Chains A and B, each alone.
Chain A
Amino acid sequence: MSSTETPETRTGEKPPRSRGRLRSRRPAVLVVLLVAAVAAAIAVIALRGGADPGTKAAKGAPAAGPVSGGTLRYAVAGTQVSLDPAVAATAVTGLIDRNIFDSLVFQTGPDTFAPWLAEQWTVSADGKTYTFTLREGVKFHDGTPLTADAVKASLDHVVDPKTKSAYAASLIAPYKEARAVSDLVVEVTLSRPFTPFLQALSVPYLGVQSPAALAKPVEQYEPVGTGPFSFVSWEKDKRVTLRKYAGYASPRAGAANQGAAYLDGLVFEFVSEDATRYGALTSGQVQAIAGVPPVDARTLKSLPGFGLTATETPGLNYNLYLNQTRGPLRDVRVRRALSASVNVGELVQNIYFGYYKAVRNPLSAATAGYDASAERSLASYDPAQAARLLDEAGWKLGPDGYRVKDGKVLSLTWPYWAEGNKEQRDVLAEGIQAQAKLTGIKIERPAVDTGAFVSKYLIGGEYDLVDVSFARPTPDVLRFAFASGNTYEKAGGNVALVNSPEIDRWVEEAAETSDPATAARDYAAVQREVLDKAYVLPLYTPVALTGLSGKVKGVTFDTQTYPEFHDAWLKA
């Protein structure tokens, strides 16, 4: 075996001998590693000097009054899939785009609006035609002048199926067409009367976009509006950088600052981790954060040099919807019993330390049409009453503490969609589960992924309970949530699967009427009815908790709780 290898093969290619062959072997790997580590350490130390967190605020400005300059960093949760407000549905998109885009009108109260890009507007008697007269001399960031055609292009872009609008198009579902009457007058025609139209136009998702930007291919899309800040860059999953639009000429009526923004730059940092975001604010790496965790809210408030702003979200509260088409919940007594079993006030207080308020109405108190008296229809916490109702409905207490009827346990399915969980809603749900158990109602929470949540539950209807909140400052959300035609499958929010001709009539009438009194009466009736029939168990009003550094001045929040940075400035 071994001798088959001839000596020639081993010695044949005798390499020229070179000196020092034995010295070439050093533990090279180790040396390289050590050098790399030392180099990295030195580099870091060297960089530390220049890495002063915070901003270069304007210097030498007088102590009082707004000063110009500086960059405000605002850390927000969530990421961004598109900057086109017409496409995306995420809250972050609205938050950012609010600074880039102006809207035709500005919402000043539950149902009052002020001029913005539209200097004035008229609504036809049949409520189907809106005529807007645009402000003169407004230019988009790219220099394109604001014209009637631009408005038309913007609206057409929203409803174009190719845009694949996830949200904006649904806001103006009755939109038929827009027509440029003159250079600055645009006439919008709806297919039916639709009072929430002005409100819809006021949200950032329907901000007016530059027609030149929209004409570009989708891949090259950049948000170009008329707002106080213009788009600079978007580093995916990291930040969006905006710059002051020096030529800003369209502040809304009544804004404190009628000129260009004070800030030179506005940067949105995407920080999805609550603790990181909070730490970034307190350590001065950012000047504002959205979504302060309720547990940290109290601490932040007490920290010198920081402030906390709480803004209640208008629209639908965070509610629990009871699927009235399925199983035991078809019986209104069982629905009311469930409602009476849960001490919402106590749970919310314990979990959110008072920063979120327990509610007794599906509609947020900050919304137009809110009827405080509707809460009288709610089946309030009363375990004895709950037990009575269940007894009446034939559900008797079984041996293991759950109620039984015809051999079946009173068991309700409440799918748990973890990806959608926030604000410790899972903890709240556990509390509800525990309290319902006390009256003998079993609540099961199968964990489901997004696909199953949508197809099996939201569309397939195999749920008894589902929880959701929906922020939008108009009572028209009641139509979204309770009109029989607005099931999830049909892009609506009627997850209780309410099918009530009365409610349908009320919400339709309220949306079409031009008489505020009629609308108010209709909306109040809806609120009473859904509580009376216990289609919904209101839980709490989501609160936008914004943490601000003491240096930040002049930040205001609009009715939709979006912070406005047009007036904001940084103290030196």
Chain B
Amino acid sequence: MPPLARWLLRRSAQIALVLWGAATLAFLGMRLVPGDPARAIAGGVQASATPAVLDAIRAQYGLDRPLPVQYAIFLGRLLRGDLGRSYQLNQAVGSVITEQLGATVALAIGAMVLGLTLATVLGLLTAGRPRARALARAFEFCSISTPGFWIGTLLLGAFSFHLHWFPVLGEDGLAGLVLPWLTLTLSIAGVLSQVTREGVEHALEQPFALTARSRGATENRVRLRHALRHAALPVLTLSGWALGELLGGVVVVETVFARQGIGQVVVSAVQGRDLPVVTGVVLLAAVTFALINTGLDLLYRLVDPRMRQVAL
């Protein structure tokens, strides 16, 4: 078996294990926190469900059975790819998620691309240039230390409410995405640009940079052709972190900008203790992270030929 196939097979097994763990944690998490899931299904705290209704719900969802039995049923369903039906929405979890996934993916990917672009440009322009670096540092400090919620509110106030540049509500096109993108981007761009700059600076100190200069290469050439690829390695490593940051930020951004998406689904599912939806989202997140990490590992080898030597 070729090493790559073997590696992928092993990776898949790991991913399956992670998924099982994630599903189990989600199940336990939602079951072990105090409170009666039946009541949550019945509509939450404000609801005034009668005991009869609650009993009916328990019977319908199998909540009256012992926990291990519930767990077995739960796992059996998962194995068949059946995520179950949302308690709250009366809809298959799969369709709840797929309905909302597009919006979130557009948000996260756009922000990732913007963030990487911003970080690359900033990193390349300011590396090894003390004055520019000081400015960039100030920006990065703000970006890192300002909560996304606050950035979003400020952007919204300035560009949507005051300047009327980007409508937020009632706008489903690209224009409505700009401010959410920016908000998310700012939450990761600070760290990414810091890392890019350090990567570029580190690369510029390496002998090969001196060699390149000694060949008569211009500063731009040294930075673009040589240093940038080196800086890409730590940035790649950080992409996993950035993705996590983005997924966290999505919840905030979707709230502030009143967008639909997975973030909103999660919030209402957790509040409403909608176990099937929570499980579905947890599994989705686990799969996403696993796939992205696998992709990153492969990408790493693409960027750094030395990695291709390392056993998979």
A/B contact in complex, CB under 8 angstroms: yes
Footprint of B on A, CB under 8 Å? 27, 29-30, 33-34, 36-37, 40, 43-44, 47-48, 51, 53, 73, 75, 79, 81-82, 87-90, 161-162, 164-167, 169-170, 173, 218-219, 221, 235-239, 267, 269-273, 275-277, 279-280, 282-286, 417, 419-420, 449-456, 458, 489-493
B35–A450 contact, CB under 8 A?
A: yes
- Residue of chain A at shortest CB distance from B114: A37
A282 to B259, CA, bound (A): 19
B273–A165 contact, CB under 8 A?
A: no
Say how far B188's CB is from chain A's closest CB, in angstroms: 14
B49–A491 contact, CB under 8 A?
A: yes
Footprint of A on B, CB under 8 Å? 33-36, 39-53, 56-57, 88-92, 96, 99-100, 110, 113-114, 116-117, 120, 153, 156-157, 160-162, 164-171, 173-176, 178, 224-225, 228-229, 232, 254-261, 264-265, 268, 271-273
Count of inter-chain pairs, beta carbons less than 8 A: 207
Task: Give 24 CB contacts A-B under 8 Å.
Answer: A30-B224, A34-B117, A37-B117, A51-B176, A53-B169, A53-B171, A81-B88, A81-B272, A82-B88, A167-B43, A167-B46, A218-B90, A219-B91, A236-B96, A237-B100, A237-B261, A238-B260, A271-B258, A273-B255, A279-B157, A285-B168, A285-B169, A450-B45, A455-B36
- Residue of chain B at shortest CB distance from A420: B45
Besides A53-B170, A89-B48, A164-B53, 10 more A-B contacts (Cβ < 8 Å) are: A27-B228, A33-B113, A47-B175, A89-B43, A170-B49, A283-B161, A284-B164, A449-B33, A450-B273, A491-B49
> Which B residues lie within 8 Å of A51 (CB)?
166-167, 171, 173, 175-176
Contact of A33 among B57, B116, B260, B264 (CB under 8 A): B116
A286–B161 contact, CB under 8 A?
A: no
A239 to B176, CA, bound (A): 15
B160–A279 contact, CB under 8 A?
A: yes
- Residue of chain B at shortest CB distance from A280: B169
B48–A82 contact, CB under 8 A?
A: no
A170–B48 contact, CB under 8 A?
A: yes
> Which A residues lie within 8 Å of B96 (CB)?
236
B48–A492 contact, CB under 8 A?
A: yes
Q: A283-B161, A454-B35 are in contact. Are A33 and B49 (CB under 8 A)?
A: no
- Residue of chain A at shortest CB distance from B47: A166
> Which A residues lie within 8 Å of B90 (CB)?
82, 218-219, 221
- Residue of chain A at shortest CB distance from B225: A27
- Residue of chain B at shortest CB distance from A33: B117
B48–A40 contact, CB under 8 A?
A: no
> Which A residues lie within 8 Å of B224 (CB)?
27, 30
A277 to B258, CA, bound (A): 9
A420 to B34, CA, bound (A): 17
Most B C-beta atoms less than 10 A away, residue of A27, A51, A237, A276: A237
Say how far B161's CB is from chain A's closest CB, in angstroms: 4
> Which A residues lie within 8 Å of B265 (CB)?
236-237
- Residue of chain A at shortest CB distance from B256: A273
A236–B256 contact, CB under 8 A?
A: no
B260–A89 contact, CB under 8 A?
A: no
A112 to B257, CA, bound (A): 42
> Which B residues lie within 8 Å of A167 (CB)?
43, 46-48
A169–B50 contact, CB under 8 A?
A: yes
Contact of A73 among B92, B157, B170 (CB under 8 A): B170
A456 to B34, CA, bound (A): 8
A283–B34 contact, CB under 8 A?
A: no
Say how far B138's CB is from chain A's closest CB, in angstroms: 22
Say how far A280's CB is from chain B's closest CB, in angstroms: 5
Say how far A127's CB is from chain B's closest CB, in angstroms: 22
B260–A236 contact, CB under 8 A?
A: yes
Q: A34-B117, A236-B99, A276-B256 are in contact. Are A81 and B268 (CB under 8 A)?
A: yes
User: Which 10 A-B pairs rank lowest in CB-CB distance, beginning with the nearest?
Assistant: A451-B35, A166-B43, A166-B47, A237-B264, A279-B161, A238-B260, A271-B258, A283-B161, A491-B48, A161-B56
- Residue of chain A at shortest CB distance from B163: A283
A474 to B258, CA, bound (A): 34
> Which A residues lie within 8 Å of B51 (CB)?
489-491
A450–B271 contact, CB under 8 A?
A: yes
- Residue of chain B at shortest CB distance from A279: B161
B53–A165 contact, CB under 8 A?
A: yes
Contact of B174 among A47, A279, A454 (CB under 8 A): A47
> Which A residues lie within 8 Å of B165 (CB)?
48
B260–A237 contact, CB under 8 A?
A: yes
> Which A residues lie within 8 Å of B174 (CB)?
40, 43-44, 47
A277 to B161, CA, bound (A): 10
> Which B residues lie within 8 Å of A456 (CB)?
34
- Residue of chain A at shortest CB distance from B30: A451
Most A C-beta atoms less than 10 A away, residue of B36, B50, B171: B50
A236–B100 contact, CB under 8 A?
A: yes
A276 to B229, CA, bound (A): 41
